[in-house]
Structure 1
Amino acid sequence: MASEFAAGNYRFIPAVFQYSSGAQANAGYEIERVRFDRLVPLAEGFARIAAYIKDAGRPLTSFCACELRSPAAFTEDGFRAFNQHYVKTLAEWGLFDDTINPVARSNVCPEIDPPAEPSFHAFSFTRASTTTSPSFVIAGGAEARGGPGSYPERIVCYRDLSPGAWREKVRFTVGEMERRLAE
């Protein structure tokens, strides 16, 4: 069930501490997606995002989604450390309260020309609008079941490349995307 994030003028689908499953702009607002010309390392990316949002006359709490690129899959401990660093900035911006994070996120690890460090590819924020069309973003990570446990324990058919495993992974992922869109 979606939760309201009034400070950002959007609703979000709660997920895990490091990201939400998606965000939808409230009435009178829309989500604007901004893509960087090149990948921007995390610290520099946050600084550029803050400047862009402020230049648009919006509060930092309007930040509602980001698209990251990482050099390779993280270990469980490495992912936890990365996320602790990532949410620190969100907390400073008034987006993360040590429990709930309204910002949707995807994190892709490209096999071809991966970045040297985790970097921003794009971000989204809310801004005033006169359109009546719904505006939303959906997060990645749809192949991981919710709940406790490590990512390998929660990923559907983890590392299984058989045709049956692919069918199950696609079935689960499509169902999860449909659930998020319905919310």
Structure 2
Amino acid sequence: MTSDFLPGNYRFIPGVFQYSGGAAADPGFEIERVRFDKPVPLAEGFKQIAQYIKAAGRPLTSFAACELRSPAAFTDQGFRDFNLHYVKTLAEWGLYDGKTNPVARSNVCPEIDPPAEPSFYAFSFTRPSESTTPSFVISGSGEAREGGATYSERTVRYRDLSPDGFKEKVGFVVDAMERRMGEFGFGWKDATAVQTYTVHDFHPVFADALVRRGAARSGLTWHFARPPVIDLEYEMDCRRVMREMVI
């Protein structure tokens, strides 16, 4: 079930306090994705994002999604501490009310040449559009089930990197993407971009787990990066966005 976020002109999939499951623009609006040429540290990134959104004539509440890069995978507590810091700005912008967060997000850790501190890689916001083409951004998801006290309890095939174990991890994540797109009434046929994040060779399962299901119809962008929590091994996100910029 999705919820409306009227101040941002989008609907979202309710999730955890740090991010939603995805965001989709309302009729009469579209999502624009903006990627930084180089990752920008969190505080400076928020500043530049605010400037860009305001220059586009949009309120800060139109901020709908972001893609982060972190120095290394977090512990459970470290990830929670980071998220508590991250949502402070969202609260100041009128996006986070202390319980519900409509903003979609991915946060991964480059294995080679990582940033020195958590940084923005890209962000998305809504803007008016005369096009009837829908647009959405689905949050990143690794192989962790919802619920449970710790990530180790929730992780599919925890610390199992056998061929069968990794195949199950990938399949779980692909299923999660399909479920989230399905909440908005979309599927792989609608996605214009799909990204995957892992440091492991997923080629043995690529054809069956991704291509045959339509997940690679527009190709697949592989980032040599780890999911944000220790012992998660595979993550994906996807989107349907017609307007993309690099600044």
Query: Shorter-chain TM-score category?
Result: over 0.9
8 A contact 1:64–1:125 mirrored in 2: yes
Aligned: 1:89 with 2:92: no
- Residue 229 of structure 2: aligned partner: none
CA distance in 1: counterparts of 2:91 and 2:157, whole angstroms:
34
- Residue 37 of structure 1: aligned partner: 37
Using the aligned pairs only, state the percent identity.
Answer: 73
Deviation at 1:158? 2.4
Q: Which has the higher contact order (CA 8 A, sep 6+)?
A: 1
CA distance in 1: counterparts of 2:97 and 2:148, whole angstroms:
20
> Match of 1:140, SS?
strand
Q: Unaligned regions of 5+ residues in structure 1, if any?
A: none
8 A contact 2:68–2:108 mirrored in 1: yes
> Match of 2:141, SS?
coil
> Match of 1:141, SS?
strand
CA distance in 2: counterparts of 1:97 and 1:88, whole angstroms:
10
CA distance in 1: counterparts of 2:52 and 2:43, whole angstroms:
14
CA distance in 1: counterparts of 2:54 and 2:9, whole angstroms:
15
Give TM-score scaled by structure 1 length: 0.97
Q: Unaligned regions of 5+ residues in structure 2, if any?
A: 184-247
Give a deviation string over 1:71-113, Cα, whole Å, max 9, x none: 1001111111100110000000000011110000001101010
CA distance in 2: counterparts of 1:55 and 1:133, whole angstroms:
24
Corresponding letter in the other structure for 1:121 = Y
Instruction: Kindly report the root-mean-square deviation, in angstroms, between the aligned alpha carbons of the 2 structures.
Output: 0.9
- Residue 160 of structure 2: aligned partner: 160
Task: Quickly say closer, same or farther: Cα 1:55–1:49, change in 2 above 3 A.
Answer: same
- Residue 121 of structure 2: aligned partner: 121
Q: Displaced runs of 4+ in structure 1, greater than 4 A?
A: none
- Residue 66 of structure 2: aligned partner: 66
> Match of 2:113, SS?
coil
Give TM-score scaled by structure 2 length: 0.72
- Residue 179 of structure 1: aligned partner: 179
